Chain A
Amino acid sequence: MSDLLARVRAGDRRALARLLTHVENRTPLGLAAEREFFRQTGRAHLVGITGPPGAGKSTLIAALAREARRLGLTIAVLAVDPTSPITGGAVMGDRIRMLDIASDDGVFVRSLTSRGRCGGLAPSLCAMAHLLDAFGFDLIVLETVGAGQDDVEIARLADTTVLVLVPGLGDHVQALKAGTLEIADIFVVNKADLPEAARVVGDLRSLQRLAGAASPHIPIHATVATTGDGVASLLQGILDHRTQLDATGQRLERLQRRLLSEVRFLALEALEERLDSALAALPENERAALVTRQVDPRTLAERLLKGLRLNLPLGSH
């Protein structure tokens, strides 16, 4: 099976696809690959794309991919779609591949499901992005589940976070103020051919003015993803942001923050799992004691925590 790792190292795309499955599912081989390839990461630029459902994120990414290829950049996309909390199943629409870029070797698209994870992401997203980075893709786009105001995790995992907004969401811009608006490095107003688009751009501008000179200026791009209008300029904006991160030394700072977030997510996930099984194993008399008010939630929580041995091996259950 380590044959698969060798094939990936040699640039075999099919092997990459198979290894991504192992990484996604945290098989022993996938975990070994994660460790092995991590040292070869750090070259790719990670772009997070987020925004409400129906904003045109997938179509925009397809258009971005086409522009990236025009500049000779290779691009991999990890597109996250929601998992049904009931059945665990998911339907992932494949709008990105519908273009002429479908058979281009410089474009790789992989759909994954959130598998119960909140925040618009998926549990193995970072690890899969690392593998694509090591494989040599220049740009790696992380598309989140169409999410709302609190979809901020993406910003901790990407070098550049793009927030896609559209006209017709009314005062969503206002509502978003304290959430995703704060984490964006670039704003996109997509569907800019719709009549209300100029107003959304204006709203964003006045929001920025309200925020004052102290807060960073965030570029606003108007795009029509379906025709490609404004997309070349958006890609340039993303590349400029990268240059700017390099020039100001923020790139390393962000990288460290990004990797620490990943450490945090992995540790937290293991903790939650342990906690969930401890909860599930709680004896009936302790549950009853809670209901009859003989023990309070805080005391029980403390007892649970005491019982957790925290030397948890990750991913090897």
Chain B
Amino acid sequence: MVEQAAVATGRRQRSRPLRVLIAKPGLDGHDRGAKVLARALRDAGMEVIYTGLFQTPERIARAAADEDVDVVGLSILSGAHNQLFPQIMQELRRAGLDDVLVVAGGIIPKEDIPHLQALGIAAVFGPGTPLHEIVAFIREHAPDRERGS
């Protein structure tokens, strides 16, 4: 709501919108979920950068770094999360993005979640998670960096 109020009152914001990178790592070609989430975050007043399909861990980290996002959302349906997510987390760290909130969604078996959380992925949202829950989680857990005063 902070983001909304800021934009509604004028060009210069007292608090800037959260920036979120939505990324589709790997080889699955289904991005309906990613797009629905991108739209929901947009409607919640966030600035969303959607990478498109088939992204490598290096590209995701590069995009997250250059765009200086607060949040990275990974969407994966291929089952390759146990391979790709550790690489992505490593690339993010290598790019100096230790303070970025990373969340994931898609088809991820429950038993894999603790392992992913140990990697530093803050939350894993399965199919059917209400969008407002994801929005609320991101708002609450996005890093509190120095924002526009």
Contact = CB atoms under 8 A, between A and B. Distances in A.
Nearest to B53: A98
Interface stretch (B34-42, B75-83, B105-113): B34-42
- Max count, chain B CB within 10 A of own CB: residue among A94, A113, A117: A94
Given A88-B3, A89-B41, A28 B149 contact: yes
A317 B12 contact: yes
B48 A92 contact: yes
B4 interface: yes
A14 interface: yes
A94 B50 contact: yes
A40 B89 CA distance: 36
B148 A27 contact: yes
Interface in A83-124: 83-84, 87-95, 97-98, 102-103, 108-111, 113, 115-117, 123
B3 A25 contact: no
A13 interface: yes
A260 to B, nearest CB: 20
A98 B42 contact: no
Nearest to A21: B68
Contacts of B95: 14
Given A17-B68, A92-B48, A92-B49, A116 B7 contact: yes
A93 B52 CA distance: 8
A94 B63 contact: yes
Contact of B39 (A83, A91, A95): A91
Contact of B3 (A22, A89, A91, A276): A89
Contacts, number: 125
B139 interface: no
Contacts of A110: 66-67
Given A26-B12, A116-B11, A87 B45 contact: yes
A20 B68 contact: yes
A97 B68 contact: no
Nearest to B42: A89
Nearest to A98: B52
A63 to B, nearest CB: 16
A194 to B, nearest CB: 23
Nearest to B35: A91
A21 to B, nearest CB: 5
A111 B68 CA distance: 10
B17 to A, nearest CB: 6
Contact of A88 (B45, B58, B148): B45
Interface residues of B, number: 42
B63 to A, nearest CB: 6
Contacts of B68: 17-18, 20-21
Contacts of A97: 51, 59, 62-63
A36 interface: no
A99 to B, nearest CB: 10
Contacts of B52: 93-95, 98
A97 to B, nearest CB: 6
Nearest to A25: B148
B69 to A, nearest CB: 9
B142 interface: no
Given A88-B6, A93-B52, A13 B65 contact: yes
Nearest to B19: A21
B146 interface: yes
Contacts of B114: none
Given A17-B66, A83-B47, A90-B17, 12 more contacts: A18-B68, A28-B149, A88-B6, A88-B8, A89-B47, A93-B50, A94-B63, A109-B63, A111-B67, A116-B10, A273-B10, A276-B10
The 3 closest A-B pairs by CB, nearest first: A88-B7, A25-B148, A89-B42
8 contacts: A21-B19, A27-B148, A88-B7, A89-B3, A90-B48, A92-B50, A110-B66, A115-B7
Interface of A: 1, 13-14, 17-18, 20-22, 24-30, 83-84, 87-95, 97-98, 102-103, 108-111, 113, 115-117, 123, 269, 272-273, 276, 315, 317
